[in-house]
Amino acid sequence: MSYNLIVLGGGPGGYTSALRGAALGAKVALVEKAELGGLCLNKGCIPTKTYYHASFLKEKIKKMPKWGISITEEGFNLEKVTERKELVISTLKKGIEFLLKGRKVDVYKGEGIFLNPGQVKVGDQVLEGENILIATGTYAAFPAALTPNGENILSSDDMLNLRELPASLLVVGAGVLGLEFASIYRSFGSEVSVVEIMPQILPQEDPLIAEEIRKLLTRQGIKFHTGSTLMEMKAKDGKTLVEFLTPSGMERLEVDKVLIATGRKPLVPQGAQEIGLALDPWGMISIKEDLSTNIQGIYAAGDVSYKIQLAHIATHMGLCATENALLKRSKPVDLRIIPRVTYIHPPLALTGLTLKEATEAGIKARTVKVLWTAVGMALIEESRDGFCSFTVEEGTEKIIGVQILGHEAPNLISEGSVIVQEGLTLHKLSEIIHPHPTLGEIYFEAAEAGRGLGLHTL
């Protein structure tokens, strides 16, 4: 069979590209060796956020008596949350199947293996492609001493199949993944501790933001051990004994479950290196600005080829690569402004540059920060923890980054991306009318505060 475009991988980078290719009139094949929707739909974004939503409601229930509504939390049932997660996944997967069928994309179930630069084998079929897009994602990578066993030592996949709430959970790794599970399970009612080898939680993030989050999550009862190395894990009477070296000496903990929340590695298709496809020093597929590789007609997108591993980036890259391939153009992908969210309670969302990133890029900038006390809706919703801050370029007064810690931050951050992408100044933003009472008013308050004219801040 011959195609204008063969897409390897049915995750958010791959299936969206197949749909776009077909919408542009191309004959498209999509090859998926496991499940349509990829990591994001089956084991990542969607299932974890189904749990997050349940934990969010649990947090709300705790506050409700103050609002005149009493609901008990006793009815919490992890089994039901897990069942609902499965329903959400299967519904969305059917949606993808429906769209692919509607756009007449040929879907091949099986592993795509390169035979030649324009030839891929799936089972015993050989597909010929004028263009091939690799969007094969990653696999979970564990240090040898920390390999999950699916019983007491768990991966994120295992966490999504727990039927009983662990009374105690130790999370190894305080990156986004580790903190999200820590926050969700703390809200569900587990005792949660986190061990992180680096001196701060969210090691890649601005230290001031990370410190604020640490304080907030500590108040919620999560115990952090940063600068600490896991030394030993031993099973004992259904529990796990864990030893770790902290800056002040050896500590021991007895927990029900341990989650290993460490990184992932790129999953390069078989045969790719044999046909000469170049990889970068981290084992990712080397891409040029237009997402082409060193082999003509082969493109790559998403986690297999980019260091910031997020579903919306995979989609953004996939669409750009597909259009470049099919429209015979070389438009560079624009990854300057990447919104990113950490689903803790309350969630953190950022876009553009933090002050740390601006300083590293040699940009003179300052931070403007306002608290939720400036916004009435935050009191109505009882969600005053957190802040909104802007990174503002000195001289131009342009907002080059937005950071929001607070309820609705994941939805609010899209306005931040528009502000940063369009290069709005504090003054320009302050001229935009924000409806009242809404959490979105925080943008107006921060713009005014940045100009020294704060309305509900001093």
Ligand X SMILES: Cc1cc2nc3c(=O)[nH]c(=O)nc-3n(C[C@H](O)[C@H](O)[C@H](O)COP(=O)(O)OP(=O)(O)OC[C@H]3O[C@@H](n4cnc5c(N)ncnc54)[C@H](O)[C@@H]3O)c2cc1C
Active centre residues (catalytic): 436
Instruction: Kindly tell me which of 90 and 218 has the beta carbon lying closer to ligand X.
Output: 90
Instruction: Kindly tell me which of 269 and 450 has the beta carbon lying closer to ligand X.
Output: 269
DSSP 73-85: STT--HHHHHHHH
Residue 313 Cβ vs ligand X, minimum distance, rounded to whole Å: 7
Residues that bind ligand X (CB under 6 A): 8-14, 31-34, 38-40, 44-45, 48-49, 111-112, 135-138, 156, 177, 267, 269, 302-303, 309-312, 314
DSSP 325-350: HHTT--PPP--S---EEE-SSS-EEE
Which residue do the tokens 């876009």 mark?
351
Which residue do the tokens 């309350």 mark?
346
Are 347 and 439 a contacting pair, CB within 8 Å?
no
Instruction: Kindly tell me which of 269 and 401 has the beta carbon lying closer to ligand X.
Output: 269
Cβ neighbour number for residue 332 with a 10 Å cutoff: 11
What distance, in Å, lies between the first and last C-alpha atoms of the chain? 68
Which residue do the tokens 């409700």 mark?
64
Residue 235 Cβ vs ligand X, minimum distance, rounded to whole Å: 25
Rounded to 5°, angle at Cα 392 from 391 and 398: 125
Distance CA 244, CA 391 (A): 37
Which structure tokens are listed for 178? 């580790």
Residue 295 Cβ vs ligand X, minimum distance, rounded to whole Å: 16
Instruction: Kindly tell me which of 13 and 352 has the beta carbon lying closer to ligand X.
Output: 13
Rounded to 5°, angle at Cα 299 from 297 and 302: 170
Residue 252 Cβ vs ligand X, minimum distance, rounded to whole Å: 28
Instruction: Kindly tell me which of 11 and 401 has the beta carbon lying closer to ligand X.
Output: 11
Q: How far is CA 230 from the centre of its chain?
A: 25
Instruction: Kindly tell me which of 52 and 224 has the beta carbon lying closer to ligand X.
Output: 52
* 425: DSSP letter: B
Residue 191 Cβ vs ligand X, minimum distance, rounded to whole Å: 21
Quick check: helix, strand or coil at residue 389?
strand
Nearest to 297 by CA among 2, 5, 1: 5
Q: How far is CA 265 from CA 12, 44, 48, 55, 247, in A?
A: 17, 15, 20, 29, 29
Residue 176 Cβ vs ligand X, minimum distance, rounded to whole Å: 8
Residue 131 Cβ vs ligand X, minimum distance, rounded to whole Å: 16
Do strands 223-225 and 191-195 pair parallel, antiparallel, or not at all (unpaired)?
parallel
Residue 92 Cβ vs ligand X, minimum distance, rounded to whole Å: 13
Which structure tokens are listed for 416? 């931040």
Query: Amino acid letter at 451?
Result: R
Which residue do the tokens 């084991």 mark?
43
Q: What are phi and psi of 97, to 5 degrees?
A: -60, -45
Q: How far is CA 191 from the centre of its chain?
A: 24
Are 176 and 163 a contacting pair, CB within 8 Å?
no
Instruction: Kindly tell me which of 285 and 358 has the beta carbon lying closer to ligand X.
Output: 285
Evaluate the omega torsion of the peptide bond into residue 166 and state whether it is cis, within 30 degrees of 0: no
Instruction: Kindly tell me which of 197 and 338 has the beta carbon lying closer to ligand X.
Output: 338
